[in-house]
Structure 1
Amino acid sequence: MAERGAHLTAAAAPAGRPSAFEAVAQDSLAAALNPALRHLLRVLAESNPGRFGSLWHWFDEAYVLLDLLLQHHYLGSCSASFSENFYSLKRVPTAERGPHAPATAGLPRRHHWKSLILLVLVPYLKGKLEKLVSSLREEDEYSIHPPSSSWKRFYRAFLAAYPFVNMAWEGWFLVQQLCYILGKAQHHSPLLRLAGVRLVRLTAEDIQALEKKVGATSSQTPGIKTQVQSAVRKALGGIAFSLSTGLSVSVFFLQFLDWWYSSENQETIKSLTALPTPPPPVHLDHEAGSALLPKLKTVCPLCRKIRVNATALSTSGFVFCYRCVYSYVKTHQRCPITGYATELQHLVKLYSPES
């Protein structure tokens, strides 16, 4: 049913106009990149905080620079953002009618920079605003000081108004998408409308032009005067290409990690990987075991005296004098009672409240 609905939606759309499924899918891909990279960097920072801790602290700013590089490259070479090019879409000015310029021509300068700002800066500012609201809410919940200053009264009013502002923002996007589905609007997102562009599918001529551009770039031999510029362009293009080819695989891999380390899945993993309870020692019968153990719990089974510096073995749980069990384990590498293999690292000193 879903495939048939997607087919009917695509068939009902005008020629060149992407379906609502394609438009929403590319938005979802663009929104998934930040959490995926954030999760990857968090894992690296937790495993090696000395090397990746500072990068984790400035993750938002580093991601903005990478996103700026990536989107600038694709807008200039493919007339589309990274996610739009992934779904074979391109941007054209809204006022442009008739045959469109090839994708390799890029957007006009004004539309290029407006698109770049709305693609990179708006999500960054929205994320920073959400973090600010979260921190202010925590401070407001755990603060014991009354709102005596005008600043505290202001941010409390801001916290009260933010849910309504956010609802209006999300509702704006929802209404725009509904109008796009019903064929009443040319843009599925208000940001496209603000940028003065709309999305269309890549044509066969666009795909051929992109392939020719890639072939021409690889066959050209730059002159001496343009070697530095060519090296910079190749470096930027290589970074953008590596991001574009690796992010799609990374998104799936990181989503798998999220599922694997989720609390629901951990219960299943523990039940599957839990070690069985070891059986009691078979080389000792009940009478022999009772002969080895003293009747008084405060007596050491080795020296048969009151324990001094009580020390337990983590492998068996029996308690001895520290000197007795230390010498025995160092010599025999096993528990004196059960015979379990034991090392010196398994000695656990016990401290009573009286000591």
Structure 2
Amino acid sequence: MLFQVGGQGSRPTFFEMSAAQQLPSSLRAALTYSIGVLALRRPFLHKVLDYEDEFFAALTLILETHSLRTTDASFAESLYGLRRRAVNIHMKKEDLRIETGNRSQHSGIRKHQKLLSVVFLVVLPYLKSKLHSIYNKEREAALQASLWGNVNETFDQIENLGDMDTSFASTSSLDTHTELSVRTQFRKRMHKIVATCYPWVHAGSEGLAFAYQLLYLLDATGFYSPGLHALGLHVCRATGQELMDTSSRISKIRSNERERLCGPPWVKAVQGVLLSCGYAVLDYAQTGLIAAVFGFKMMEWWYQSAEERMLAPTVYPPPPPPPPPKVAKEGIPLAADRTLCPLCSQKRANPSAITVSGFVFCYACVFKYVSQYNHCPVTLVPASAHSTCVELTELHLNSISTHQECIKLLSWLGSREEERKRKSGSWEKRDFLSHLQAIAALNTELNMPSYRRSICRADSALLA
């Protein structure tokens, strides 16, 4: 499986080299995450996570060795159709440089270059990961010591004293304890040295690698990394003829290995089957590994999205508003003209509404009627004059056309109610403004009669 990215000639583009360099770290992160998820159901996989560095180093050792042996490229480079070639360095009097492009003379990789390539691809990243883990542990220990004091050393001293007390029983146990204490102190000193030097070494290596990448991007050098420069290797695109030659060379190597099998026929058959299985695993390890990680991530995304849909709360539509109150048979009928008071059949003076029904009357008429009969004159719903009569003005009633004007009306009602509380002190100590503003926020219909009735009914429910 090859990924050919644009560009001309045999020199790979910067993006090809960058993708090939970042593939192992991305693959390691994906494998670690996949194993961590599987370990939730299979606890024995936690042992793999405990030795994550060693496990991944062994895996990359197998993949890189096989890839360099068969394709003269690393595992990631072979996926992008790249090959490593040895470079002959020509010394000139004017300047000392390495010829690149069409003038560079490439040859096959030698055995020692393959061995050193494995060291740069497997051993050095493994050592770097171990040093990074030691640095992180020492940093956490230093932070903990700065916050809580050096607790670990105190416990170590106590344990050492206890061990020394018990070690007086025999000289051999004392020697063993001394040897262990020396080893422990040496290990702690080495960890402190690593914690001190690692940031500088890491910064230097990363800065040098960045300089090489920048020079490669500017076409000032043919080496993408310091490791390739130290090995004297260029990374080039593989041609179709080179791919065919590689396939034929692999088939010849495998046929020679089959011919070297010895033993009885059944032993040769078993060895041949094992070799075939090993070849199949190595041939499809690159594609299969990436496909497995991709498939696992796809399954995880699928089940996670389904789980989120199941756990998401169901959003129901808001309930419909309650129906408007009906006019009672024994109640006072409404006039055809909405501006007339149903009680006096005159134009409303100082309009006031009954909150339990929403109908508007003259303030004097409705206050006298409700104080005497304790119910709404139209619907005969029980009502109290001191808690249900809300004073309005005809100007506000006839000018409501938008939600903002509704809020202004409600604010005005609240100020009037507060003023009435301060003057008389006989009204309920409730905040009509908060009730009415909450009702206005829920109301979207601004039809005047139904809107007044919905305000009054909801406010009545809140007061109840």
* Cα distance change, pair 110–223 in 1 and its aligned pair in 2 (3 A): closer
Query: Any runs of at least 4 consecutive aligned residues in structure 1 with deviations exceeding 6 A, and if so which?
Result: 146-154, 217-221, 257-261
Q: Is the 8 A contact 2:134 2:195 kept in 1?
A: no
In the alignment, does 2:41 pair up with 1:42? Answer: no
CA distance in 2, matches of 1:129, 1:260: 38
| Residue aligning to 1:163 | 199
Q: Is the 8 A contact 1:222 1:230 kept in 2?
A: no
- The RMSD of aligned alpha carbons is 3.6
* Cα distance change, pair 178–235 in 1 and its aligned pair in 2 (3 A): same
Q: SS in structure 1 opposite 2:150?
A: coil
Q: What displacement does 1:61 show?
A: 1.3
Q: What displacement does 1:69 show?
A: 1.0
* Cα distance change, pair 164–248 in 1 and its aligned pair in 2 (3 A): same
CA distance in 1, matches of 2:18, 2:115: 23
| Residue aligning to 2:114 | 112
Letter in 2 for 1:247: L
Higher Rg of the two aligned structures: 2
| Residue aligning to 1:189 | 225
Deviations along 1:18-62, one digit per CA (max 9) or x if unpaired, are: 11111111112122121111112111222221x322222223212
| Residue aligning to 1:54 | 47
Q: Give the counterpart of 1:33 among 21, 27, 32.
A: 27
Which consecutive residues of structure 2, in runs of 5 or more, have no partner in the other structure?
90-103, 155-184, 317-464
TM-score (normalizing by structure 2): 0.48
Q: How does 1:1-355 map to 2 (within 5 A)?
A: 7=6, 10-11=7-8, 15-49=9-43, 51-95=44-88, 98=105, 100-101=107-108, 107-143=109-145, 144-145=149-150, 158-213=194-249, 222=259, 224-225=261-262, 227=268, 233-253=275-295, 270=308, 273-276=311-314
Q: SS in structure 2 opposite 1:199?
A: strand
| Residue aligning to 1:343 | none
Q: SS in structure 1 opposite 2:85?
A: strand
Letter in 2 for 1:273: L
Q: Is the 8 A contact 1:32 1:251 kept in 2?
A: no
Deviations along 1:167-220, one digit per CA (max 9) or x if unpaired, are: 222111110001111122121111212222110110121112133345667888
Q: Is the 8 A contact 1:73 1:237 kept in 2?
A: no
Ranked by relative contact order (alpha carbons within 8 Å, sequence separation 6 or more), the top structure is 1
Letter in 2 for 1:243: A
Q: Is the 8 A contact 1:91 1:199 kept in 2?
A: yes
Letter in 1 for 2:21: D
* Cα distance change, pair 120–156 in 1 and its aligned pair in 2 (3 A): closer
* Cα distance change, pair 271–223 in 1 and its aligned pair in 2 (3 A): closer
CA distance in 1, matches of 2:196, 2:114: 37
Q: SS in structure 1 opposite 2:84?
A: strand
- How many aligned positions are there? 258
Q: SS in structure 2 opposite 1:47?
A: coil
Deviations along 1:72-110, one digit per CA (max 9) or x if unpaired, are: 111011000111110001111122854644xxxxx3111
Deviations along 1:247-305, one digit per CA (max 9) or x if unpaired, are: 222343455578789xxx98x96476324499xxxxxxxxxxxxxxxxxxxxxxxxxxx
Q: What displacement does 1:164 show?
A: 3.3
Which consecutive residues of structure 1, in runs of 5 or more, have no partner in the other structure?
1-5, 102-106, 279-355
CA distance in 1, matches of 2:284, 2:245: 21
Letter in 1 for 2:127: L
TM-score (normalizing by structure 1): 0.62
| Residue aligning to 1:285 | none
* Cα distance change, pair 128–158 in 1 and its aligned pair in 2 (3 A): closer
